[in-house]
Structure 1
């Protein structure tokens, strides 16, 4: 592992030096931000207004509370998607090294294949974290101006969620990219992940709006629980403030409708269980990735 720091530095520097790879990783966050702000934001505002309209004695919610709710949902969804899609883009370097022949040169150096694999993993995680924490900072700034209901605990837990989801996205991309060897394959996988991951992790629309069969399928995916953790922590303060205005039953209904409370096979999943599922998936995927790296030279 003596060469690990050098490998991590080399891979991270190449990612930020390659303008094409860097800006490709930013495309998904920017598209999602525009989509959320221009379209989905109004959809969730209307949904919230319809819920409030059914509550006797309540005409409307304070604007800051509405914006805090919508902003918390949209940015938690944005972060949940970016932690995975950006990781896939940042991890393209592993495949590009195969295409250019740099991987062959690296395997000839006195560096173990396990060390080489971890070099790609750690550098991808670092690059992804930098981009995702910039997005998280933008989230805090937006909520601070529009409707701030976050406690210090929720801010810390949100940062932990982003780190854990980034580790998951990096591990998943490492396993998938291990089997890729051409630029065409990189583009195809990147397109599929960018287009489809948001739907199957409950980011683009609440899981409760899917059919029962799809809900069951999604509940088996680890990324779903990472998304739910972000929803819970970025919106918990908003829900607590809503309890001063709305009946508890109405607020509980919103929690369930907007995935802050997840149900698996009739069991409401607790936050420690969500962390256990997501953390376990990270450990398993990293183990598989390192094992693949040791078994195959290319």
Structure 2
């Protein structure tokens, strides 16, 4: 464990010492928050308003709180994965610089080295994403606060769970990369495409039925929905207090992906947790298997 602890410390130190990499990872969620609030805020508010009966009057605070919760969940859903890809780039950089070859020539086991990259990425990504959560909570406090202490605890839990997922996914992807150009290409593809396929940029309910069925097989979709449910629980409670019809609340939940359906069957929140945890377990198993097979070939 001493060797593993030293390697984790070494990897974390190198990541935070690389000002360009750290600054990019830290600023990306903040830029997304500004862009979401500027460009997607109106889309989310209009989507919320369209799900309500025309005769119903709704306070601006409630509208802003709904849109803000959706913005926060979208930001975190994307950041937990894209930031982990950036943080995990050290695994590939060590291949490029030859540092990994030097490390494998020491008594350090390859399995220990592989674990050190995983845990270092997990720690670095969690720090950045929790800072992003803090910035998002400040934004919600300004536009419309409906969160309880329990909601915040669940949001932190969701973030850590998605960080585990993002770290496992990036570890599998980066295992096959061996150049700086490949890192940039994969990072660009994930940054541009992941937000769409997980329902962060646009609610899945607005996609075609065929695409909805395809996306329902992706675990990241359920991570986004968990964040949505916990970021907006207080909003729905406020709607009930203001005597919103139950049908209207369910319609809103459907329109912004708090309710997800797998081939017509509604997916419960415990099932979402099960799917996400199962995906994390599978990805970690694949990462371990890849390292074992690589060791055997060596």
TM-score relative to the length of structure 1: 0.95
CA distance in 1 between counterparts of 2:196 and 2:47 reads 19
Answer yes or no: is the 8 Å Cα contact 1:261–1:268 preserved in 2: yes
1:277 aligns with 2:261: no
Deviation sequence 1:111-131 (CA, Å, 0-9, x none): 111111110000001000000
Farther-moved stretch of structure 1 (288-297 vs 95-104) = 288-297
What displacement does 1:139 show?
A: 1.5
Equivalent position of 1:183 in the other structure: 180
Answer yes or no: is the 8 Å Cα contact 1:28–1:85 preserved in 2: no
CA distance in 2 between counterparts of 1:27 and 1:141 reads 16
Equivalent position of 1:10 in the other structure: 10
What displacement does 1:50 show?
A: 3.2
What displacement does 1:55 show?
A: 4.0
Alignment of 1:208-247 (within 5 A): 208-245=205-242, 246-247=244-245
Farther-moved stretch of structure 1 (146-155 vs 156-165) = 146-155
1:103 aligns with 2:63: no
Equivalent position of 2:248 in the other structure: 250
Equivalent position of 2:51 in the other structure: 51
What displacement does 1:51 show?
A: 3.3
Answer yes or no: is the 8 Å Cα contact 2:147–2:233 preserved in 1: yes
Deviation sequence 1:23-78 (CA, Å, 0-9, x none): 232353233222211111011122223333x343x23x222211111110001000
CA distance in 2 between counterparts of 1:36 and 1:134 reads 17
CA distance in 1 between counterparts of 2:211 and 2:26 reads 29
Answer yes or no: is the 8 Å Cα contact 2:47–2:255 preserved in 1: no
CA distance in 1 between counterparts of 2:180 and 2:64 reads 42
Farther-moved stretch of structure 1 (234-243 vs 84-93) = 234-243
1:289 aligns with 2:284: no
Equivalent position of 2:37 in the other structure: 37
CA distance in 2 between counterparts of 1:173 and 1:18 reads 19
Answer yes or no: is the 8 Å Cα contact 1:87–1:128 preserved in 2: yes
Alignment of 1:111-130 (within 5 A): 111-130=108-127
Residues paired across the two proteins, number: 295
Answer yes or no: is the 8 Å Cα contact 1:262–1:269 preserved in 2: yes
Q: Quick one: which of 262, 265, 273 aligns to 2:263?
A: 265
Q: Quick one: which of 84, 89, 92 aligns to 1:92?
A: 89
Farther-moved stretch of structure 1 (226-235 vs 105-114) = 105-114
Farther-moved stretch of structure 1 (77-86 vs 145-154) = 145-154
Deviation sequence 1:161-214 (CA, Å, 0-9, x none): 000000000000000000000011000000000000000000001000011111
CA distance in 1 between counterparts of 2:3 and 2:226 reads 36
State the SS of the aligned residue for 1:3: helix
CA distance in 2 between counterparts of 1:116 and 1:47 reads 47
CA distance in 1 between counterparts of 2:85 and 2:113 reads 18
Taking only aligned residues, the RMSD between alpha carbons, in angstroms, comes to 1.4
Structure 1: gaps (5+ residues): none
Farther-moved stretch of structure 1 (69-78 vs 137-146) = 137-146
1:158 aligns with 2:155: yes
TM-score relative to the length of structure 2: 0.95
CA distance in 2 between counterparts of 1:230 and 1:239 reads 14
